[in-house]
Amino acid sequence: MSGIKTLGQFIIEKQADFPYAKGELSRLLRDIGIAAKIVNREVNKAGLADILGAAGTINVQGEGQQKLDVFANTQFISALTSGGECCIVATEEEDEFVPIDSPVSKNARYIVCIDPLDGSSNIDVNVAVGTIFSIYRRKSIGGVATLEDVLQKGTQQVAAGYVIYGSSTMLVYTTGKGVNGFTLDPSIGEFCLSHPNMKVPAAGNIYSLNEGNYVHFPEGVKKYLKYAQTQDVATNRPYTSRYIGSMVADIHRNLIKGGIYIYPTTAGSPKGKLRLLYECNPMAFIVEQAGGVASDGFNRILDIEPTELHQRTAVFIGSSEMVKTAEELMKQYSSEQRAGAVA
């Protein structure tokens, strides 16, 4: 066991980077890690316990909730409530943000935005799923925290991370000083540092998107797909198509191997489908800290000004060279389309 560094030890060592936090941010990350272990336990019991299938309820996005969605949401809210460092939780599974009204949270200074179980429809078929979280400092001073405290640009995040529940369980997070990954060792029940200072390759050969929606894609995305599938030895094309259907799993793979994940606008989702605050912002923060790029096809994700809790956006995220090529094609064909409309 010599040389193994746990998540708790690592967080304490890095606490000096945030003198203003006074240990609260460290404890908040610890609380998220504890809840993740509980969710991991239930994910691993899928098929043995009555936690598979639909819960019979619909979330604010109009999506049917799975039993594990509800379970994970409850666990993370419970952990963040009992910890006392968080005053608001904004989650995919709740219509409105959840104020933490407890004596220990009266002076809490952090907001957590979370997707408790990303890709939960994959649970029934034993495919990797995950949790995505984002942490902000509240803007207001004193009194009750409000929606305005939640609606902050991604550049204001103080920490973000994800947990992937797969062949092994990993927690990956950043506090704006690089990205580090921790693998859960079930023999001791601790997340241990396994992927220090993670970096996404500048170029990769994997593209990830749901090609079943091809006919509904913007012209720029169609042209990027044609580019990705064209043979060119100099640029290592054609690329390989890999799509899991869980944002966490697809981006985790591309973060390690190099690649691009695309979820564009479509005719049915003209503003995009993925949520800005608790999916795209945290993933953008992580990927940028690892040397990658995150865009909506035209502009940096982290610069988008949120106006609503469950705001949606398109996302192009991953290896810098691949995202920049996709952006160039998006802008080129968007300009041509506008010019044609004017003509």
Q: Which domains does the chain have, with CATH numbers?
A: 7-195 (3.30.540.10), 206-342 (3.40.190.80)
One pLDDT digit (tens) per residue for the chain, 343 residues: 457 899 989 988 887 766 555 678 888 999 999 999 999 998 887 655 555 555 455 555 555 567 888 889 999 999 999 888 999 999 998 999 999 877 667 678 899 999 999 987 787 788 899 999 999 999 888 778 899 999 999 999 999 999 999 889 999 999 999 999 999 999 999 999 999 999 999 999 999 999 999 999 999 999 999 999 999 999 999 999 999 999 999 999 999 999 999 999 998 899 999 999 999 999 999 999 999 999 999 999 999 999 999 999 999 999 999 999 999 999 998 876 655 554 4
Looking at the whole model, is its pTM more than 0.75? yes
Rounded Cα–Cα distance for residues 219 and 246 (Å): 24
Q: Are 178 and 155 in contact (CB under 8 A)?
A: no
Q: Among candidates 1, 69, 92, 75, which has minimal Cα distance to 32?
A: 75
**Eight-state DSSP code of residue 61:** T
Burial 159-182, CB ≥16 within 10 A → b, else e: bbbbbbbbeebbbbbbbeeebbbb
Listed in sequence order, the residues at least 6 apart from 23 whose beta carbon sits closer than 8 Å to its beta carbon are 15
**Eight-state DSSP code of residue 279:** I
Q: How many CB atoms lie within 10 A of CB 18?
A: 17
Rounded Cα–Cα distance for residues 220 and 223 (Å): 5
Count how many Cα atoms sit within 13 Å of the Cα of residue 324 in the half-sphere of its side chain: 9
Backbone angles phi, psi at 159, to 5 degrees: -165, 155
Q: Among candidates 225, 218, 255, 221, which has minimal Cα distance to 240?
A: 225
Rounded Cα–Cα distance for residues 317 and 260 (Å): 6
C-alpha angle 249-251-252 in degrees, rounded to nearest 5: 65
Q: Are 272 and 263 in contact (CB under 8 A)?
A: yes
Rounded Cα–Cα distance for residues 146 and 111 (Å): 10
Rounded Cα–Cα distance for residues 166 and 298 (Å): 33
Rounded Cα–Cα distance for residues 227 and 191 (Å): 40
Predicted local confidence at residue 4, as pLDDT: 87
Q: Are 146 and 130 in contact (CB under 8 A)?
A: no
Structure tokens at 217: 């894609």
Q: Are 40 and 165 in contact (CB under 8 A)?
A: yes
